[in-house]
Amino acid sequence: MRTMLHSKIHRARVTRCDLDYEGSITIDRDLLQAADILPFEQVQVLNLNNGARFATYVIEGEAGSGEIGLNGAAARCACKGDIVIILTYDQVAEADLAGHMPKLVYVNEQNRITSVKQAIGAIFF
Protein backbone atom coordinates (compact mmCIF):
# COMPACT_ATOMS: atom_id res chain seq x y z
CA MET A 1 0.00 0.00 0.00
CA ARG A 2 1.09 3.54 -0.77
CA THR A 3 -0.20 6.76 0.77
CA MET A 4 -1.37 8.86 -2.19
CA LEU A 5 -3.07 12.21 -2.58
CA HIS A 6 -6.86 11.78 -2.58
CA SER A 7 -7.89 15.41 -2.99
CA LYS A 8 -6.70 18.99 -2.77
CA ILE A 9 -8.34 22.38 -2.31
CA HIS A 10 -5.70 24.66 -3.81
CA ARG A 11 -4.90 28.18 -2.58
CA ALA A 12 -7.97 28.80 -0.44
CA ARG A 13 -8.02 31.91 1.75
CA VAL A 14 -8.57 31.68 5.49
CA THR A 15 -11.75 33.62 6.27
CA ARG A 16 -11.80 33.25 10.05
CA CYS A 17 -9.67 32.18 13.01
CA ASP A 18 -11.48 31.30 16.26
CA LEU A 19 -9.16 30.29 19.09
CA ASP A 20 -12.04 29.63 21.51
CA TYR A 21 -13.76 27.01 19.31
CA GLU A 22 -12.96 23.28 19.49
CA GLY A 23 -10.04 22.39 17.23
CA SER A 24 -10.85 21.78 13.59
CA ILE A 25 -11.26 23.49 10.23
CA THR A 26 -14.64 24.63 8.93
CA ILE A 27 -14.92 24.33 5.13
CA ASP A 28 -17.75 25.43 2.83
CA ARG A 29 -19.90 22.39 1.95
CA ASP A 30 -19.53 23.11 -1.80
CA LEU A 31 -15.74 22.80 -1.51
CA LEU A 32 -16.04 19.60 0.53
CA GLN A 33 -18.31 17.99 -2.06
CA ALA A 34 -16.10 19.04 -4.98
CA ALA A 35 -13.00 17.63 -3.24
CA ASP A 36 -14.75 14.48 -1.94
CA ILE A 37 -13.96 15.36 1.69
CA LEU A 38 -16.32 14.26 4.47
CA PRO A 39 -17.18 15.99 7.75
CA PHE A 40 -14.83 14.79 10.52
CA GLU A 41 -12.31 13.50 7.96
CA GLN A 42 -8.66 14.23 8.71
CA VAL A 43 -7.02 16.85 6.51
CA GLN A 44 -3.54 18.28 6.25
CA VAL A 45 -3.38 22.05 5.94
CA LEU A 46 -0.37 23.81 4.39
CA ASN A 47 -0.06 27.56 5.01
CA LEU A 48 1.73 29.28 2.14
CA ASN A 49 2.17 32.49 4.13
CA ASN A 50 4.11 31.11 7.09
CA GLY A 51 5.08 27.54 6.13
CA ALA A 52 2.99 25.90 8.87
CA ARG A 53 1.74 22.38 8.17
CA PHE A 54 -0.79 20.74 10.47
CA ALA A 55 -3.44 18.04 10.60
CA THR A 56 -6.96 18.51 11.91
CA TYR A 57 -10.49 17.34 11.15
CA VAL A 58 -13.22 18.92 9.05
CA ILE A 59 -16.44 20.58 10.12
CA GLU A 60 -18.92 21.25 7.32
CA GLY A 61 -19.60 24.93 6.72
CA GLU A 62 -22.54 26.58 5.01
CA ALA A 63 -22.73 25.91 1.26
CA GLY A 64 -21.78 28.93 -0.82
CA SER A 65 -20.25 30.76 2.15
CA GLY A 66 -16.65 30.43 0.98
CA GLU A 67 -15.72 29.72 4.58
CA ILE A 68 -12.30 28.39 5.50
CA GLY A 69 -12.31 28.81 9.27
CA LEU A 70 -9.54 27.65 11.57
CA ASN A 71 -10.69 26.71 15.04
CA GLY A 72 -9.00 26.01 18.37
CA ALA A 73 -5.26 25.36 18.25
CA ALA A 74 -5.33 25.44 14.44
CA ALA A 75 -6.25 29.13 14.67
CA ARG A 76 -2.67 29.75 15.89
CA CYS A 77 -1.30 28.40 12.59
CA ALA A 78 -2.71 31.09 10.31
CA CYS A 79 -4.17 34.57 10.09
CA LYS A 80 -7.30 35.68 8.30
CA GLY A 81 -6.37 36.14 4.63
CA ASP A 82 -3.56 33.55 4.61
CA ILE A 83 -3.49 31.21 1.62
CA VAL A 84 -3.72 27.50 2.39
CA ILE A 85 -3.72 24.19 0.57
CA ILE A 86 -5.96 21.51 2.10
CA LEU A 87 -5.06 17.88 1.39
CA THR A 88 -6.50 14.41 2.00
CA TYR A 89 -4.82 11.08 1.33
CA ASP A 90 -5.76 7.50 0.40
CA GLN A 91 -4.09 4.15 0.96
CA VAL A 92 -3.76 2.68 -2.55
CA ALA A 93 -2.66 -0.85 -3.42
CA GLU A 94 0.33 -1.10 -5.77
CA ALA A 95 -1.87 -2.77 -8.39
CA ASP A 96 -4.23 0.23 -8.41
CA LEU A 97 -1.64 3.01 -8.67
CA ALA A 98 -1.86 3.41 -12.44
CA GLY A 99 -5.56 4.26 -12.22
CA HIS A 100 -5.34 6.50 -9.16
CA MET A 101 -6.60 10.02 -9.93
CA PRO A 102 -6.91 12.56 -7.11
CA LYS A 103 -9.45 15.41 -7.27
CA LEU A 104 -7.93 18.88 -7.50
CA VAL A 105 -10.21 21.81 -6.61
CA TYR A 106 -9.06 25.30 -7.58
CA VAL A 107 -10.62 28.40 -6.04
CA ASN A 108 -10.53 32.16 -6.52
CA GLU A 109 -9.93 34.88 -3.90
CA GLN A 110 -13.44 34.39 -2.47
CA ASN A 111 -12.99 30.59 -2.22
CA ARG A 112 -15.40 30.00 -5.10
CA ILE A 113 -14.59 27.02 -7.31
CA THR A 114 -12.95 27.98 -10.59
CA SER A 115 -12.17 24.44 -11.77
CA VAL A 116 -12.09 20.82 -10.68
CA LYS A 117 -9.60 18.48 -12.28
CA GLN A 118 -8.38 14.95 -11.80
CA ALA A 119 -4.65 14.41 -11.75
CA ILE A 120 -3.42 11.40 -13.63
CA GLY A 121 -1.14 9.40 -11.37
CA ALA A 122 -0.03 7.12 -14.22
CA ILE A 123 2.56 9.61 -15.48
CA PHE A 124 5.19 7.85 -13.34
CA PHE A 125 4.65 4.41 -14.87
Render pLDDT for 54-104 as a digit per residue (tens, 0 to 9).
Answer: 999 999 999 999 999 999 999 999 999 999 999 999 999 999 888 889 999
Query: For residue range 9-68, what is the model confidence (pLDDT) as tens digits?
Result: 999 999 999 999 877 999 999 999 999 999 999 999 999 999 999 999 999 999 999 999
pTM: 0.92
For residues 116-122, average pLDDT: 72
pLDDT for the residue numbered 120:
58
Q: What is the DSSP string of 27-94?
A: EEHHHHHHHT--TT-EEEEEETTT--EEEEEEEEEPTTS--EEEEGGGGGG--TT-EEEEEEEEEE-G
pLDDT for the residue numbered 124:
45
Torsion of CA 84, 90, 95, 99, to 10 degrees: -50
Which candidate in 7, 21, 24, 115 is catalytic? Answer: 24
pLDDT for the residue numbered 121:
53
Which candidate in 21, 57, 89, 106 is catalytic? Answer: 57
Please confirm, yes or no, whether 57 is among the known catalytic residues.
yes
What b/e sequence results for 24-38 when a residue is b if at least 16 CB atoms lie within 10 Å of its CB, and e otherwise? bbbbbebbbebbebe
pLDDT for the residue numbered 26:
97
Amino acid at 35: A
What b/e sequence results for 75-107 when a residue is b if at least 16 CB atoms lie within 10 Å of its CB, and e otherwise? bebbeeebbbebbbeeebeeeeeeebebbbbeb
Q: Answer yes or no: is pLDDT of 125 > 50.
A: no
Domain 2-124 has CATH 2.40.40.20: yes
Kindly report the CA angle at 120 between 93 and 38, in degrees rounded to 5? 65
Q: What is the distance between the alpha carbons of residues 4 and 110, in angstroms, rounded to a whole number?
A: 28
